[in-house]
């Protein structure tokens, strides 16, 4: 199908107003851009009207008309009767401006309306039971053919005023005559290309495009004189752009009009009446439908006047011209056109996509965190009336998950939180790396003098062992040796923290490893009275890792959990092992005093400790952190003061 409307990608700003307005759901969002699907578009132009960013545009034929059609000569402009609503102050000068632009004749499309109106009266009188839908508005019959195809047989097989006028001009002035229609309707551009009526109209311009042409050729319409249209002139067809204009032009009697004629205008009412017809709830003889609120509200009328002021302009134009028209000449022109074919066919072009099943809809809703009816906010930010409609559009390939504003906000919040966590981890890793380098250097330098101190302490002790009176001195030397060994242990831990050695990888059963660690811990006197609970929800707890280093990890964390219970009455340590697709997850939870919020960011920093003097060096969790990272895992802590702490350790199933 001819693509009448297109998106300008760099101007589209994810507002989804066009999605909200499109009755045909002919706009698919791709990478955040609302793209018009030509094969589904009914060319109503509503998306152009509502786009505040001017990201929708119609296919322009300005250059084609200026550079190809007009230079050929023998060209006729056909102007829609709604033109006073666009050229509000200078509408009487429009024929002069068009002639100056290069058109040989300037005619009214209203005469085409006069030609087809009797056809509707004949249709009504021919079959009093059948419901007839007017076919003058191309947006309406496009909509019916594509989305209400069961109603195609009800469409009147009568051409629009534009096509009627084009056929009349070709028959009257010669088939080599070029005809350019000028009006307020974007859908006319698609009708012009419709193969079932092709050849009647050579190009379609909107009023806005006509003004663009005047600007390009330096024509100032205000400087021109008033002039009349060329024959044939329209009569009652001038009222066609107003609601009920077809009824007036066809001179349908009041008896029929009272109950059996329905006039419908505006998108929402059009949708409503078509659904009613589809469900056999309407039995009227004629349904006169316009997709806009009359053609005076067409999407290509670039006037700032409101609906009522536009209507008044058109009515004033009708009153100014209809009385002066020569009715005998008009009747003669109508009679001479009696043999022109004003019929056309319509076809089933059903574009409806089957509705997905309920399971698929629920699955898509769940992808945007909508698991219950309460989760469905129906905020319409995505452009769809309900979250369910939106899910159906996704299933049909017409929408994306990221169109849901609440979901997108949640997603951004999660991403921001993850970014913060990553930044904190990066800062911590950088800090630990710097401390590690320093620790390695310091440990290396201190180890040598500590070894010397221990050596000479041992030698002195041997010498003094021979003398009984040196008991106090021996005790002093023992203290020196003890403290020196303590220093060596600290240095050893520093080296463990700073080392970047390779892991000795083998298969490690985490469940068995923790059980092995718990056996000696359970019998330690200082941990008496602690209740240990071990839970395992994983069927297999084997991973690839360094057994000795992982033992050090769990020994440190479990020992810390036990030490945190020293002053608590309820002493519990719960260890839970679970597994997901990628990791073994170990949670170690205690019922201790918890960790103050201000200390949470310092847990894995070397030499930070809250233990009593002489009970800790502050290197345990720093070493744990390093080992976990060497295993490409993760360790997190969560704590609530007074209630306890939980450490969550994740280790990959496959260390690569």
String of DSSP letters for 174-203: -TT-EEEEEES-SHHHHHHT-TTSTTS-SE
Q: What is the mean pLDDT of residues 139-144?
A: 94
Sign of torsion over alpha carbons 473, 474, 475, 480:
positive
CA distance readout (Å), 499 to 348, 491, 505, 623: 76, 12, 16, 10
Domain range list for the chain: 5-50, 60-336, 358-403, 404-500, 503-656
Using the predicted structure, report yes or no on whether residue 472 has a pLDDT greater than 80.
no
> Taking 70 as the threshold, does the pLDDT of residue 614 lie above it?
no
Q: What's the confidence (pLDDT) of residue 416?
A: 81
Name which of 165-174, 213-222, 317-326 the model is least confident about.
Answer: 317-326
Q: Supply the DSSP string of 439-497, one letter for each residue.
A: HHHHHHHHHHHHHHHHHHHHHHHHHHTT-GGGHHHHHHHHHHHHHHHHHHHHHHHHHHH
Q: What is the pLDDT of residues 545-554, one digit of tens each?
A: 888 889 888 9
Q: How confident is the model at residue 611 (pLDDT cuts 50, 70, 90)?
A: low
**Crossing angle for the helix pair 405-464 and 620-630, nearest 10 degrees?**
120
Look at the block and give the residue holding tokens 């070397």.
606
Q: How far apart are CA 27 and CA 42, in angstroms?
A: 11
Q: How many CB atoms lie within 10 A of CB 425?
A: 15
| 65-71 mean pLDDT | 95
- What tokens were used for 407? 């979901």
- Average pLDDT for residues 388-416, to the nearest whole number? 82
What digits encode the pLDDT tens for the residues 573-592? 999 999 998 899 999 999 98
pLDDT in tens, 16-36: 888 888 888 888 888 878 888
pTM assigned to the model: 0.65
pLDDT class for 390, splitting at 50, 70, 90? confident
Position 1 scores a pLDDT of 46
Q: What one-character DSSP code corresponds to residue 69?
A: I
DSSP strand pairing (56-58 vs 5-7): antiparallel
For the chain, what is the total number of helices (H) and then of strands (E)?
22, 18
Mean pLDDT of 84-103: 92
Q: Which of 93-97, 246-250, 307-311, 485-489 has the highest mean pLDDT?
A: 93-97
Alpha-carbon distance of 580 to 607, in angstroms, equals 34
Of 414 and 431, the structure prediction assigns the larger pLDDT to 414
Note whether 321 and 79 are within 8 A (CB).
no
Residue 168: the pLDDT is 96
CA-to-CA distance for 76 and 66, rounded, in angstroms?
13
Q: Does domain 404-500 have CATH number 1.10.287?
A: yes
Per residue in 230-261, pLDDT tens? 999 888 888 888 877 777 776 665 454 555 78
Task: Convert 255-300 into a string of H (helix), E (strand) and C (coil).
Answer: HHHHHHEEEEECHHHHHHHHHHHHCCCCCCCEEEEECCCCHHHCCC
If pLDDT is split at 50, 70 and 90, which confidence band does 292 have? Answer: confident
* Triad 122, 128, 134: Cα angle to 5°: 55
Neighbours of 393 (CB within 10 A): 23
Tokens of 429: 């890793």
Q: Whole-angstrom Cα distance, residue 182 to residue 77?
A: 7
Q: Which option is the CATH number for 5-50: 3.30.70.20, 3.20.20.70, 3.40.50.1820, 3.30.360.10?
A: 3.30.70.20
Band of pLDDT at residue 140, cut at 50, 70 and 90: very high
Q: Which pLDDT value is given to residue 371?
A: 87
CATH topology of domain 503-656: Heat Shock Protein 90 (3.30.565)
Give the model's pLDDT for residue 576. 94
pLDDT at 203 over 80: yes
Residue 311, pLDDT > 60, answer yes
pLDDT of residue 34: 85
* Residue position matching structure tokens 């018009």: 36
Highest mean pLDDT among 121-130, 178-187, 252-261, 526-535: 178-187
d(CA 193, CA 202): 9
- Nearest by Cα to 2 from 137, 193, 195: 193
3-state SS assignment for residue 611: coil
Residue 227's pLDDT is what? 92
Using alpha carbons only, what angle is made at residue 391 by residues 385 and 397, rounded to the nearest 5 degrees? 110
Helix/strand/coil percentages in the chain, nearest 5: 50, 15, 35
**Contact residues for 486 (Cβ-Cβ < 8 A; gap 6+):** none
Q: Checking DSSP bridges between strand 105-108 and strand 75-79, what pairing results, if any?
A: parallel
Give the pLDDT of residue 560: 87
Q: Is the pLDDT of residue 48 over 70?
A: yes
Span 127-153, average pLDDT: 90
For position 490, what pLDDT does the model report?
Answer: 65
Supply the pLDDT for residue 500. 46
Percent over 90 (pLDDT), the chain: 31
Are 5-50 and 404-500 the same fold in CATH?
no
Burial class (CB in 10 A: 0-12, 13-18, 19+), 403: buried
Binning pLDDT at 50, 70 and 90, where does residue 183 land? very high
Share of the chain above pLDDT 70, in %: 88
* Residues 553, 558: Cα–Cα separation, whole Å: 9
């Amino acid at each position: 199908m001819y693509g009448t409307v297109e998106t300008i990608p760099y101007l589209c700003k994810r507002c989804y107003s066009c999605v909200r307005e499109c009755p045909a759901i002919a706009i698919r969002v791709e990478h955040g851009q609302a793209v018009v699907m030509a094969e589904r578009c009914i060319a109503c132009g509503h998306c152009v009207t509502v786009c505040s960013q001017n990201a929708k545009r119609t296919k322009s034929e300005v250059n084609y008309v200026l550079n190809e059609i007009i230079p050929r000569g023998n060209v006729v402009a056909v102007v829609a009767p709604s033109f006073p609503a666009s050229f509000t102050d200078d509408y009487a000068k429009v024929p002069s401006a068009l002639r100056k632009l290069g058109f040989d004749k300037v005619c009214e499309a209203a005469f085409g309306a006069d030609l087809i109106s009797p056809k509707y009266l004949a249709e009504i009188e021919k079959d009093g039971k059948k419901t007839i839908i007017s076919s003058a508005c191309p947006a309406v019959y496009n909509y019916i053919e594509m989305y209400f195809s069961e109603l195609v047989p009800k469409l009147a097989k009568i051409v629009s005023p534009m096509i009627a006028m084009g056929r009349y001009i070709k028959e009257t002035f010669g088939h080599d005559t070029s005809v350019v229609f000028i009006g307020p309707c974007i859908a006319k551009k698609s009708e012009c290309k419709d193969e079932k009526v092709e050849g009647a109209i050579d190009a379609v311009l909107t009023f806005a495009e006509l003004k663009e042409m005047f600007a390009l050729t330096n024509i100032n319409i205000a400087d021109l004189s008033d002039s009349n249209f060329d024959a044939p002139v329209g009569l009652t067809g001038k009222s066609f752009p107003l609601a009920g204009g077809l009824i007036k032009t066809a001179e349908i009697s009041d008896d029929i009009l009272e109950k059996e004629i329905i006039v419908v205008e505006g998108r929402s009412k059009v949708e409503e009446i078509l659904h009613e017809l589809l469900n056999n709830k309407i039995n009227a003889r004629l349904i006169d439908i316009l997709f806009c609120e009359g053609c005076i509200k067409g999407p290509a009328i670039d006037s700032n006047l409101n609906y009522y002021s536009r209507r008044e302009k058109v009515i004033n134009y009708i009153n100014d011209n209809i009385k002066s028209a020569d009715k005998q000449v008009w009747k003669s022109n109508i009679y001479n056109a009696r043999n022109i074919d004003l019929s056309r066919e319509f076809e089933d072009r059903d574009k409806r996509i089957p509705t997905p099943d309920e399971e698929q809809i629920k699955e898509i809703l769940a992808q945007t965190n909508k698991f219950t009816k309460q989760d469905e906010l129906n905020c319409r930010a995505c452009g769809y009336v309900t979250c369910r409609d939106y899910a159906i559009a996704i299933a049909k390939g017409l929408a994306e998950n990221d169109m849901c504003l609440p979901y997108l906000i949640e997603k951004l919040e999660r991403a921001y939180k993850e970014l913060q966590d990553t930044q904190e981890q990066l800062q911590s890793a950088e800090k630990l790396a710097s401390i590690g380098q320093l620790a390695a250097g310091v440990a290396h330098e201190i180890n040598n003098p500590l070894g010397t101190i221990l050596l000479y302490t041992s030698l002195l002790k041997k010498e003094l062992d021979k003398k009984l009176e040196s008991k106090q001195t021996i005790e002093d030397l023992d203290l020196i040796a003890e403290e020196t060994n303590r220093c060596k242990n600290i240095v050893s831990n520093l080296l463990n923290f700073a080392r970047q050695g390779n892991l000795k990888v083998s298969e490690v059963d985490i469940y068995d490893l923790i059980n092995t660690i718990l056996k000696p811990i359970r019998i330690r006197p200082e941990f008496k009275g602690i209740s240990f609970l071990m839970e395992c929800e994983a069927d297999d707890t084997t991973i690839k890792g360094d057994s000795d280093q992982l033992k050090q990890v769990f020994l440190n964390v479990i020992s810390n959990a036990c030490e945190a219970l020293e002053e608590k009455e309820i002493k519990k340590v719960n260890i839970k092992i679970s597994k997901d697709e990628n990791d073994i997850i170990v949670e170690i939870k205690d019922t201790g005093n918890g960790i103050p919020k201000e200390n949470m960011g310092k847990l894995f920093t070397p030499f930070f400790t809250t233990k009593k003097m002489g009970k800790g060096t502050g290197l345990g969790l720093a070493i744990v952190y390093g080992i976990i990272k060497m295993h490409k895992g993760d360790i997190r802590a969560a704590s609530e003061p007074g209630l306890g702490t939980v450490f969550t350790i994740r280790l990959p199933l496959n260390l690569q």
